[in-house]
Every structure is written in structure tokens, then in C-alpha cells.
Amino acid sequence: MWFTDQDASVRFADRDDAGRRLAVRLDHLRDEDVVVLGLPRGGVPVAARVAEALGAPLDVVVVRKLGVPWQPELAMGAVGEEGVMVLDEGVLRSTRLEEDDVERVAERERAELERRTARFRGDRPRVPVEGRTAVVVDDGVATGSTARAACQVVRAHGAARVVLAVPVAPAGWDQRMAGVADELVAVATPRAFLAIGQFYDDFRQTADEEVLACLDAARARVGDVAADPPAGGHPTRPAGTTVREVLRLPADGVDLVGDLVLPPDPLGLVVFAHGSGSSRHSPRNRHVAHVLQDAGLGTLLLDLLTPAEEGDRALVFDVELLAERLGAVLRHLAGLPLTGDLPLGLFGASTGAAAALLAAADPASPVAAVVSRGGRPDLAALRLPAVTVPTLLVVGGDDTVVLELNERALRMLRCEARLDVVPGATHLFEEPGTLETAAQAARDWFLDHLRPSGP
């Protein structure tokens, strides 16, 4: 939690300046899977600077303050998307408002909420926050009712962690907002606090058009598969830009979800298949993905089961099913203008490694290289001799049972193959430095073996 400039002398030139200064306070989130959510209207220009600094996608979280009928500037609560409503019990008690009075105000504000949601999003889908760090940004906090509702909304959408970040808030706001977010960040918390605008040289009202311009600029910066597809139905890859998008990919009659990152001019695309009990949000796989991205490789972290299927242990270990879905995803990627010209690699962990090896064993597979981390190749034993692409097996030296399974698998492979043993590592590579060693081995293997198929 950050507190600085605890007096009324702190000033921001405008919301752009405030956003840049707030971004410095949020630099520790750079390596997390972040979505930045601005409160329209005034919070969006601030959030745009934060998202730009973090290299994160930007979206809006739409909420409406519920004002006391005869004193609209006094907030008695707020409403947010998907039916969230937050009420200030203290204000309700002091004003002696009846339930019907509150509902009349809420009904009116819900109508405005729907209008604004349609205005700011149009036909573009909400940026998913499930399992990610959601950074809720406004141009300041006064009563906190709107920010409280916004945090409730993103929690309801499945955010793994919520950060509330503002340029300015009154001293003591951490006590008043306790429990609202997992982390509170402010550039300034002055004791003499009358209104947010007193800390800005330029605090003119933000127009809808400015909000839309910020959102469009952010989509252009990180890429947006859902936005404005060309006539063929799929976008091409913007030259010289990083694409970050959540893809929904058809496979086996279901839609699978994957997090795609393509650095500028990617050398290839590595698809991740996680193991049992994990997901595409796995910190270990995301660390490996960051290492690959820094080397110029694109990554797609993929869930091969739907949320409804993940609780079925039989499906979690059905590597044949997982391999079939992985193969369908690979074929789909090969046909997309966004990814179709990229050589494809597979990175599998635990049971996901077995699915990756089975998918690579398909004679029609477009895969050019495979890396297994702590994998279970024994679950694909019958098909190992059919794997023809270069395969690297990375195992922890202290993961003795899995190490033995991989030694047997190495003898069964008929392709270019190697076993790398990381000293001191157990199955999850939790020991200091071991995951980094595994990630670097995977990076080098893919850089050596992913070769473009054309000029």
C-alpha cells in the first residue's frame, strides 16, 4: 500500500499526468497477468496511461452512484454490471430512506448503466478478468461508493486479485476501504481533502468520445481479435505491435479458452498444455511463457477442458481426449491469418505433456517441436515411437519417480530427443532458480527447432 504527499499541496496537471504518476506506483504488477479497468468517464484516461505502462489490456467497469433523492451528490450506494448493488448503511440510517425510495433511484441508474455499457463497449466483448489481476482505476476517491461497487463487479466476474488504484484519496481511506480490494494504491493521501478536483489543474469533464478514443488506442496497441475483423472473419497480425488476446477456439464440440501473446514479429508460437489440477493461469507456466516471449516467441496458454469439465477427474486424466482437442486447436491456429504463418511448438507439463506428445505423434500434426516439463510420457507410451519432431524432456533431479519414467520414454523416442535433468528440482520446480533453468532450456530448444515454413 502506497502513501505519499500527505498534504494538500500535491497537484496533477491533468488526468494524463495523474495516470503516468500512478503507473510508477503499479510497476510491481508488470509481470502479473493484469487487466486494467477504468471507471468512466474520468478514470479511463488515467487507466489508459497505467495500461500502457504495464503492457496490459484496457477495459471499462461501468458503475453508477446512487444519490440521495434530495441531495444527489451524497452517495447512498452504487450499482454495477451484472446486478451488483452496494449500499452505505450509515447514509441510509441517517436519511431514513425507505426501501422503495432506494429502488426508484436504483432503477433509474440501472437504465443509465445499461446505456453507458452499450455506449462504451458496443458489440465488443468484455475483456475477461477470470483468474487475472484486475486493476480498478479512477481519477480519485472521495466517498468510495463507486469504487467499492466496481471492485465488487470484477470480483463477481472471477478476478483472482483486485487492486484499487487512484492518484488521490483522503487520508485514512485504507481503513474506510478495508476489504474492498486486495491492494490499495494511491499517489497522494492528503489530510485536507474537500474534493478530487482540487488536486488537478485541469479537471474538466471527460467526454464519451475521449473514453472511446482511449479504448480504441489500447486495442490498437495490444491487438484485439474480437474488434473489427476483416471480411474474412479473422484479423491479420499488426506489424510491429504486441498482440494480447483471449481466444475462444473450437474443439471437439466445445469452445476452449486460451491466452494469446504475440510479440512484434514473432519467431514462432508455443502452445501450452497444463497438467492436472492446474489451469492456463498457472504461475509456473506463465513464468515460462514470459521467458519465451522475451526471446521473441509467441505463447498460447490453453485450457483443454471447460470450467464445467474441470471437476471430473476422469476427464483430467483422459489424455486421448486432451490430445484430440489440442490437435483441433493446432489445426485452427494454422488456418488463422493471425497465427497461420508461424511454426508451432508444444509445451506440456505433467499430464499435459502426455497430451502434447500424443498430438505431435499425429502424422498430420503441424507441430515442429515439443518440450515436456515434469511430464508423464508414460501415459502416451504406445505412441512415443511415432513422434518425429525434436523433443526435449525436462525433469527435476529430485523428482525420482517421474525422472525414471522420462528415462524410459527417451529410449522409446525415435526422433531427435534429449533429457535435461535440473539438479535439486522436485516435480513442481518450486526450488529457487530451478524453474528459470527449465524455462531457459525450453526457450533454447524452441529457438533451435522452430523454423518458419515459408519466406
Give the pLDDT confidence of 34-58 residue by residue, as tens digits: 999 999 889 999 999 999 999 899 9
**What is the C-alpha to C-alpha distance for residues 402 and 376, in angstroms, rounded to an integer?**
7
pLDDT band (50, 70, 90) for residue 82? low
Q: What is the pLDDT of residue 19?
A: 95
Segment holding 183, helix H or strand E? strand 183-188
Could you tell me the pLDDT band of residue 307, with boundaries at 50, 70 and 90? confident
Average pLDDT, the chain: 86
Among candidate residues 139, 109, 128, the one with its CA nearest the CA of residue 40: 139
| Cell of residue 379, nine digits | 501415459
238 burial class (0-12, 13-18, 19+ CB within 10 angstroms)?
A: middle
- Between 163-167, 252-256, 405-409, the lowest mean confidence (pLDDT) is in 252-256
DSSP summary character for residue 12: B
Alpha carbons 177 and 193: distance in angstroms, whole number: 16
State the distance between the two ends of the chain, measured CA to CA, in whole angstroms.
Answer: 51
- Each residue of 362-383: pLDDT tens digit? 999 999 999 999 999 999 999 9
* C-alpha to C-alpha distance for 415 and 192, rounded to whole angstroms: 71
pTM as predicted: 0.57
Domains and CATH numbers, the chain: 15-222 (3.40.50.2020), 243-449 (3.40.50.1820)
* Geometric angle at alpha carbon 189, from 187 and 194, rounded to 5°: 125
Of 51-65, 87-101, 263-277, 349-363, minimum mean pLDDT range? 87-101
